[in-house]
Structure formats: structure tokens, C-alpha cells
Amino acid sequence: MCVRTETAHCPWVMDDLDVNLLNAWDRVWERCKRDPVEARRRYRRTRGVMLNKPPRAWCLTLRSSDTRLHPGNVDFDSKQACIDRKTHEVTLCGEAIRQLCAPVSIDWPGLKLKDAAKKLGKTVDAVRHWMPVRPGRARGKHSKCPPRWKEITAPSKPLSVRYEPPGYYRHGGGDVAVVWTRSPIDPGGPMGRCPHAIWGSMWQYIHENLPADYVLTVRREPRFKPYGGGERFRGWDWVCPGRVVGGEHRPCGRRCRLLFGPLPVRTLGRALGLAEGLDIQNGESRITDDKSGLRLSGAWFPGMDDPLAGVRSFACRHCWGVVTTYLHSHVGWNDFVMYISGGLLYGHEVERPGWVRYTEPRPRRRRAADRRGVETAGGRASGASAM
């Protein structure tokens, strides 16, 4: 839903979420200007722990098992070690990271499964989990399958698929799966899903903010799993290089599949271009800063400064404390409002649009073995009590 509104901040068409955020911003801003104690209280919120943890929607993601990481487009200290599946170091420049973290779109009429997997940096088996199951195939070979050339979609799958006859591509075998995307997808996200719509489209362009002269060198180790009395190669793991905090490098060394690189984005304060801050001078108050222990004084520009301490670099989820917000409760809405306003607003102060609904988490399905165990235990218990 879009409404036409004209305010002092932005005289253009905005949706109801933008209108609610700006209305709450104006109300709270005037209140904080009249009450310096309230401004200090909200400023202390920015010095807490939560704003120092970047949201997942504002982070670049590097996958250790990305098939686009090969000696042809990145630098390896030993190409033979990569081919032999041994530990090696990978050096990535800024342009290569941009290509790996950029959203991927597969336009109509689509690509064959093998070509789509190559473009997404995934294996064919991994991409099969991103596409809907062909009706009839999962229920048995005697079930009725949909006709060829028919589009098959699923709300929980980022890829759409249709099946074409093998003669169309001049090779034998069964029907050929052709996939495409309805919108840009995030290859580094879970199941290729992009962030929630309330984060807007900023996640599609944050990779462009990475400096071109940025260089990342990280170690990569193979991951093996027991299989048939031996070991089977199951991909790669990064060795987290750690991060710099307060001019001091804090090593990590954890093995992880994802490296996160948080980048600054356009918050509400930066969009408005604040020229005047909120006065948080102490006066007679004894409120002090939680981190430095000094009395608060000066002006506060919500959303204009960088809340993350240290140099921005790629590290594991534990080092950065990456937060994934879920909107199935009021907690996720409050976190979104806090991040987008720079700590000035609370979730209950912004009216929630009708299209941002509370979604209940799906109940976990219990395995048949667990159900049988519960029933057996219950039967034995009832029999014992009857005796």
C-alpha cells in the first residue's frame, strides 16, 4: 500500500511503513528536545550491547564452499592444495567479493539446473532443495504428474521450475528441469531467501559499498565426514581470522561455513540528513556513560554515527554477534525499529503496518521413532499403574 504524503522531510510517495516511522520520529524528537533527561536515556541505549551487533540483513556473506571460488578467479597460495582438497589460503580482492556477495537473478525463460547451479555457486544437489518438488513424483511413480511446460512454484522456495522434454535440448534421458527466479535471491541466505520486506531493497546494493582496494586473506580447510568405513569430502570451512577492536587484533580460529562483513547502511537519520542534534548535556544529572564512565555531554545525532566498534572486516558470526530478526513476535519488530532509527525509537512507538503481521513459527515435526517411543513408554507406564 502506498500513500501520497507531503512532509518537511520527503515530499514524495511513501508507503505506510515510511509514514509511520516519520510520524513517530517527529513525536519523539520534539519530546526529547523538551526533555534532556529523556534524550540521555535514549542515548544510553545506543551504548548498550544490542546496537553493537549488526543485523543479518546489513551483512555481506562469504560461503566457504562457493563453487565460484576456484583458481581461475581468485588467488590461492597453492592451487594444487585446492585441487587435492588440502588446507590452503585464499586471497580475495574487493571486486571478487562484490561478485560473490551480489544478489543473483535468473530471468525467464530460465536456465537448466546445471547452469543455474554454476551461476549460484552451488552444487546441483543443493539447488534441488531450492526448487519445488514436482507433484506426483514424491507420491510414487503411478501418481499423475503435471504436464510438461507447466510452471511449478512454492511460496517457501526461491526458484520456480518447469519440465521440458529431453529432445528440446538434444540429449536423452528424462525431462529437463529449467529454473528461474521470481525476484533477486541471496545465495548466502538460508535456502536462498532474501531478508524480510521491511528491510527494503538495501540488501541488494550494500555490496557496492565495499572498497575496491579491500583485500581479504583467509585460510580454508577441507571438511570430511565418516562414510562407509572411511571419510567423504563434504565441502570447505573457513578459519575465522578474527577482528580488530580498539586497535587490537583479536584472533578467533573457529571453523565456520560463513564469514560476515557488516557494512554501514542508510538509516533514518542519514536519510533525513540531520543538521541539528539532541542536547544531552548533564546539568545536574548524574547519568554517566556505561562504557567510558564519563558524564554525558554534547549533541547526539541518532543514526548518523557508526555504532560498531573496531575496523569492519570479515569474521564469523560469533565475533560480530550477528543478529537474525524474526517477526513472529514483538521482539523482532522492536529490533528493526531500533536499528533503523539509530536507537531513538522503540517498537511500541511506531504503528505496525497491516502487511507486517505476526507469524507464528512452524511446529517441529516429531519423528516416527520418537512417537513410537512415547507411545511405548506411555503404554508401559499405564500398564504398570494398572498392576
Query: How does pLDDT run across 336-368, given as a tens digit for each residue?
Result: 999 999 889 999 999 988 888 766 556 666 655
pLDDT of residue 279: 79
Return the amino acid letter for 24.
A
- Strand extents, DSSP E, 70-175: 75-76, 88-93, 111-112, 159-164
The mean pLDDT of the chain is 80
Q: Which residues pair with 110 in a beta bridge?
A: none
- Are residues 200 and 191 in contact, defined by beta-carbon separation less than 8 angstroms? no
Q: Is the pLDDT reported for residue 63 higher than 90?
A: yes
What are the two backbone dihedrals, phi and then psi, of residue 230, each rounded to the nearest 5 degrees?
-135, -150
Map out the domains of the chain as residue ranges: 2-53+272-302+323-349, 58-64+73-99+191-267, 104-185
Residue 61 banded pLDDT, cuts 50, 70, 90:
very high
Cα–Cα distance list, 213 to 89, 190, 343 (Å): 19, 29, 32
- Strand extents, DSSP E, the chain: 2-4, 13-15, 59-63, 75-76, 88-93, 111-112, 159-164, 176-181, 215-227, 230-239, 243-245, 248-250, 255-256, 258-262, 278-279, 299-300
Return the amino acid letter for 344.
L
Q: What is the pLDDT of residues 233-267, one digit of tens each?
A: 999 999 999 998 877 888 999 999 999 999 887 78
Return the amino acid letter for 340.
I
- Are residues 339 and 55 in contact, defined by beta-carbon separation less than 8 angstroms? yes
Q: What is the pLDDT of residues 166-179, one digit of tens each?
A: 765 555 567 888 99
- Are residues 233 and 224 in contact, defined by beta-carbon separation less than 8 angstroms? yes
Q: Is the pLDDT reported for residue 39 higher than 80?
A: yes
Q: What is the pLDDT of residues 149-165, one digit of tens each?
A: 678 888 889 999 988 87
Q: CA-CA distance, 237 to 64, in Å (whole number)?
A: 5
Q: Residue 26 contacts by C-beta under 8 Å, 6 or more apart in sequence? A: none
pLDDT of residue 36: 84
Q: Which of 11-15, 101-105, 240-244, 302-306 is predicted with the least confidence, judged by mean pLDDT?
A: 11-15
Q: Residue 9 contacts by C-beta under 8 Å, 6 or more apart in sequence? A: 22, 272
Query: What's the whole-number mean pLDDT along residues 112-133?
Result: 92
Q: CA-CA distance, 301 to 269, in Å (whole number)?
A: 7
Residue scoring higher pLDDT (137 or 94): 94
Torsion of CA 197, 271, 99, 92, to 10 degrees: -120
Q: Which of 32-36, 134-138, 207-211, 247-251 is predicted with the least confidence, judged by mean pLDDT?
A: 134-138
Residue scoring higher pLDDT (294 or 100): 100
Q: CA-CA distance, 71 to 15, in Å (whole number)?
A: 46
Return the amino acid letter for 112.
K
Cell numbers 511446529: residue: 363
Element (H, E) at 333: helix 330-341
Residue 47 banded pLDDT, cuts 50, 70, 90:
confident
Q: Indicate the SS3 state at residue 208.
A: helix
The packing angle between helices 16-34 and 36-46, to 10°, is 120
Q: CA-CA distance, 224 to 234, in Å (whole number)?
A: 5
Residue 44 banded pLDDT, cuts 50, 70, 90:
confident
